Structure 1
Amino acid sequence: MTSDVLKRVAALPEKSTDELKEMWQNLCQSSAPPYNRTYLIRGLAYRIQELAWGGLSETTKAKLEAQAAEEKTMDRTPNPIRNDGLPVAGTRLVREWKGVEHSCTVLDDGFEYQGRKFKSLSAAARAVTGTRWNGKIFWLGGKK
């Protein structure tokens, strides 16, 4: 039985999309979803194994449903990365330079370093080093 299941799953990628959709109809008792071949193959592989060896236990289903319900009620915080690839306002960037720790705070309209406001991370990096730096590389990591 195991070898039959494995053979059926292994044969899925060789089937045409129409054959996969027909298999979906037969195995899942519903029309195939309008997704790509990869989705159909993965779904059919799961269904073939589920029919052969059984699906999820009731305990596992209950745990997954509880986790999904909890996920829906969780507080969602905004992504801490802005569209320009910089951290959101309020983030404190810390960098060690020549044995001294320096910190720069991200503002809505610039950056603050040692109480001074800068328009760019590069300007704040120059205040630290005295030389021109790519600000993202200096404050967010990488090498010059």
Structure 2
Amino acid sequence: MPGKADPDRARLRQDWEEAFGSPPPAYASVAFLRKAIAYEAQVKRHGGLPAATRRALSQIASGKPVEEAARRRLRPGAHLVRDWNGRSYQVEVQEKGFRLDGRTWPSLSAIARHITGTSWSGPRFFGLNDRTGGKG
């Protein structure tokens, strides 16, 4: 019924404050409160997200693309090499992008898309994370 308060809301607000140490967002739904509290309990029991994922989320939250975070780990002048369909591609890391075949690209993903013709994670394509995929 519209206008009727959910009896669980008061308990969930209390559980939220215990879990997070601050009041929940004013307009958070009961379903959201339940999920967030359950997730926080799971994190406390089993551990949270991997450090790389937390860093990427932090970059996104600060308004910077994840590619920019990967670029910071790679120093300008570094070279990435990837063999694909019988050709070797060499990418040079630059201060503001990546250089391949005389052209500067904004991201490794743009280069991977150019090389393969399909959507790829650039860091994954160039083997910069745990899972290097596809056929080479």
TM bin, normalised by shorter chain, reads: 0.3 to 0.5
Q: TM-score, normalised by structure 1?
A: 0.40
More helix by share: 1
Q: Using structure 2 for the length normalisation, give the TM-score.
A: 0.42
